[in-house]
Amino acid sequence: MTQTMTYGHLGRSGLKVSRIGLGTMNFGYTADEQTSCSIMDTAIDAGINFFDTADVYGGVQTPDMAKGYGISEEIIGRWLQRTGQRDRIVLATKVYQPMEVGPNDRGLSAYHIRRACEASLRRLQTDHLDLYQMHHVDRSTPWEEIWQAMEQLVREGKISYVGSSNFAGWDIALAQSAASARHFMGLSSEQSHYNLVQRAVEMEVIPALRSLGIGLLPYSPLSAGLLAGALDASTKGSGPVHPDLESRRGQLQAYEDLCRDIGAKPAEVAIAWLLRNPVVSAAIVGPRTAGELLEDLGAVSVELDDATVEKIDRIWPGPGEAPQAYSW
C-alpha cells in the first residue's frame, strides 16, 4: 500500500519537513554509492523532503583518523547534480567532529565553523545548507563566538537555520539565552538519541525543547534494529541476532505481541510512537537499503490510541520529567 507522507514544522520555524527524515550515516560506510542513490530515489518518490547528513559520515569515526570522512556528503552531492533535486529537499549537515588531524580541525570555534561549512558546501555541490547542526556541544568555545560565526553564515546566505545535536537540556537553554541576547533566532532543532529503549531525553531535554519551541529530531528510532522485529527475525533465522536481544527478550516478546494485536509492524509502531510526541518534528531513519526505508514508511499512517500508548509505556518505561522524576 502506498503511504502518503505527512509534514510538520521544524520546531517553531516556518520550515516544513517530512515526518520521516532520511539519515545518511550509512552512505559510503555500509551502503555503497549505488545503493545510497537508490535509497535517495526511493525517499524522493515517497515524499521525504528532509535529508540529514554530517561532514564526518562515510568513514570510520575515530578521534585521530579522518580517512573516508566526507564520503556521505560527496555521494549526496553527486546525486543532487545528476538528478536536479536540490530544490525539493531540506538539506541538513553537521559540524564539530575532527575532519583532519590539526588542532583547529574540530569543535565549534568560528575558525572551524567557517572552514567546515565551506568544505561541506563543496562536497554537497550546493551554495547553501538549509539546516546547519552542531554535532555536539563544545563547552570550550563561548556562545558569543559560536553565534557570531553562525550569524555570518546566515548573512552570507550559506545557511538558513541552525540546529544542535547531542546537547544536554542546560546546553540548549544557555544557547538560546545567548542567541536571544543577540536578537538571533538560535536553535530550530535538536537531534538526540531517542527511542523506546533509550528515553533519557524525556527527563530534561524534551521539556527544554517544548518550552523554547525547538523541534526534536530523534535518531536511531529503532535502536539499531532492536525495535524492528528483532525477536521474530531471530526465531525465523532471517537476520543477524541483535546483541541486546537476550537481555531484552521479555520486553521484546511483549512488544512484538502488542504490535501483532494492533496489526502493525514493530518498526512502524516504534516510529509512530515518536511522531505522536508534539515536540518531535521528524524521526530520522538510517536505512542500509531502499527496502528498509520502505518498511519504515508505514509509520505515518499508524495511529496509536491512549490505551495502546499506556501498554507500550509499561513495556518500555520512561524516566519521567525532572524534577518530579526524582523529587516532588
Spell out the per-residue pLDDT of the chain, length 328, in tens.
Answer: 456 899 999 999 999 999 999 999 999 989 999 999 999 999 999 999 999 999 999 866 555 545 568 999 999 999 999 999 999 999 999 999 988 888 999 999 999 999 999 999 999 999 999 999 999 999 999 999 999 999 999 999 999 999 999 999 999 999 999 999 999 999 999 999 999 999 999 999 999 999 999 999 999 999 999 999 999 999 887 677 889 999 999 999 999 999 999 999 999 999 999 999 999 999 999 999 999 999 999 999 999 999 999 999 999 999 999 999 999 9
Calculated CA dihedral for residues 63, 146, 209, 53, nearest 10 degrees: -50
pLDDT attached to residue 67 = 56
Domains of the chain, first to last: 7-315 (3.20.20.100)
Report CA-CA distances (Å) from 207 to 1, 6, 82, 107, 323.
36, 24, 42, 26, 11
Residue with cell 568555545: 141
pLDDT attached to residue 48 = 98
- What residues contact 163, with CB distance under 8 A and at least 6 apart? 92, 131, 132, 133, 134, 187, 188, 189, 190, 191, 217
pLDDT attached to residue 68 = 62
Residue 321 and residue 200: Cα distance in Å, rounded?
9
pLDDT attached to residue 1 = 41
Residue 45 and residue 324: Cα distance in Å, rounded?
45
Residue 99's SS3 state is: coil
Whole-model pTM over 0.85: yes
Report CA-CA distances (Å) from 253 to 5, 100, 113, 191, 196.
30, 45, 46, 29, 14
pLDDT attached to residue 232 = 92
Catalytic residue IDs: 57
Enumerate long-range contacts of 119-124, CB under 8 Å, 24 or more apart.
119/55, 119/70, 120/55, 120/73, 120/93, 120/95, 121/158, 123/55, 123/70, 123/73, 123/74, 123/77, 124/53, 124/73, 124/76, 124/77, 124/80, 124/91, 124/93
